[in-house]
Amino acid sequence: MTKLGVNIDHVATIRQARRTFEPDPVTAASLAILGGADIITVHLREDRRHIQDRDVRLLRETVFTKLNLEMSLAREIVDIAREIKPEKVTFVPEKRQEITTEGGLDVVSQKKILGDIVKRFRDDGILVSFFIDPEEDQISASKDVGAHYIELHTGNYAHANDDISKGKMIEKLQRGLNTAQKLGLQVNAGHGLTYQNVGLFVESLKVEELHIGHSIVSRAVFVGIQKAVSEMKELIFRHDLTRKP
Ligand code: PXP
């Protein structure tokens, strides 16, 4: 079954709004795991707007499922990641002005630097994923530089507001998935997925992992994070069973 990675950055966003000690994303991670999260994801941004270094260190000690660290190519963050040793790192583009990650990583124009960094992580035994748009050149460049996984950017699917555009985006993501699988890449997906739009996605595409953050943390404000995660797991499970062959 498709695994669920829960991104808990926005628990830290609430804490950082007051620069206090609560709510603690480390506690959120433990409860998310009790709710069925297969993976805990955090993004250690260069500007430290939500997740802090201390969070990543404590999560490494307490997350007994899998830890996925989203990150830019910044030297300082690469050094922290190699010291912490999460099970997986996911490279994302990062801009200070953006509210959240906007587009996919441009692998094509950064092949040399990405190749060097990927080699270091591979030598450390850490899995490497690239968050990319479902474009053929980005997918084959990801393979060329040694990524184990790609994470397909689902933002355009999530933001499509009619069935025809949604269908087109699903087809595009499906083509990306096929290309990646032919090259031997493992495929994840995420960004902008919600309780409302995850069903159609899961019915249409078989990916390894879905990475979902904002929608789960938003529901958690009302029902608690353990319940919010188990409701998302249940949705994925139900729609997995109805996937078209
Ligand atoms: N995947 C990646 C690579 C991301 O950068 C994010 C956002 O931090 C997500 C998934 C989760 O997106 P959302 O918060 O919209 O569910």
CA distances from 161 to 52, 158, 193 (A): 35, 8, 13
Exposure string of 135-152, with b = 16+ CB inside 10 Å and e = fewer, is beebbbbbbebebbbbbb
Euclidean distance between CA atoms 115 and 117, whole angstroms: 6
Strand partners, 39: 5, 66
Q: Residue 98: is its pLDDT beyond 90?
A: no
Euclidean distance between CA atoms 23 and 15, whole angstroms: 5
Q: Residue 208: is its pLDDT beyond 70?
A: yes
Angle between helix axes 25-34 and 9-16 (nearest 10 degrees) is 150
Residue from 8, 71, 98, 100 whose mutation best tests the ligand 1 pocket (most atoms within 8 A of CB): 100
* For ligand 1, atom 4: residue with the closest CA: 191
Tokens at residue 204, please?
A: 């249409």
The closest alpha carbon to 186, from 142, 136, 230, 228, belongs to 142
CA of 198 from ligand 1 middle (Å) equals 14
CA of 105 from ligand 1 middle (Å) equals 13
pLDDT of 39 reads: 98
Residue from 44, 70, 151 whose mutation best tests the ligand 1 pocket (most atoms within 8 A of CB): 70
Q: Residue 100: is its pLDDT beyond 70?
A: no
Is 10 tagged catalytic? no
Indicate which atom in ligand 1 lies nearest the CA of residue 155: 15
Per annotation, catalytic residue among 10, 153, 191, 211? 191
Per annotation, catalytic residue among 70, 94, 135, 209? 70
CA of 70 from ligand 1 middle (Å) equals 9
Tokens at residue 117, please?
A: 């960094």
Name the average pLDDT for the chain.
Answer: 96
What is the chain's Cα-based Rg?
17
% of the chain surpassing 90 pLDDT: 93
Is 191 tagged catalytic? yes
**Cβ of 191 below 6 Å from ligand 1:** yes
Q: Residue 220: is its pLDDT beyond 80?
A: yes
**Cβ of 155 below 6 Å from ligand 1:** no
pLDDT of 101 reads: 66
Euclidean distance between CA atoms 8 and 182, whole angstroms: 32
> Across residues 199-226, what is the average pLDDT?
98
Q: Residue 97: is its pLDDT beyond 80?
A: no
Strand, coil or helix: 172: helix
% of the chain surpassing 70 pLDDT: 98
> Across residues 198-206, what is the average pLDDT?
97
Q: Residue 242: is its pLDDT beyond 90?
A: no
92 in Cβ contact with 113 (< 8 Å)? no
Indicate which atom in ligand 1 lies nearest the CA of residue 9: 8
pLDDT of 245 reads: 72
Sorting pLDDT into bands at 50, 70 and 90, what band is 241?
Answer: confident
**Cβ of 139 below 6 Å from ligand 1:** no
Report yes or no on whether pTM surpasses 0.85.
yes
**19-70, pLDDT tens digit by residue?**
999 999 999 999 999 999 999 999 999 999 999 999 999 999 999 999 999 9
What the chain holds in terms of domains, given with CATH numbers, is 3-241 (3.20.20.70)
Q: Residue 96: is its pLDDT beyond 80?
A: no
**105-151, pLDDT tens digit by residue?**
999 999 999 999 999 999 999 999 999 999 999 999 999 999 999 99
The closest alpha carbon to 31, from 165, 244, 224, belongs to 224
Is 70 tagged catalytic? yes
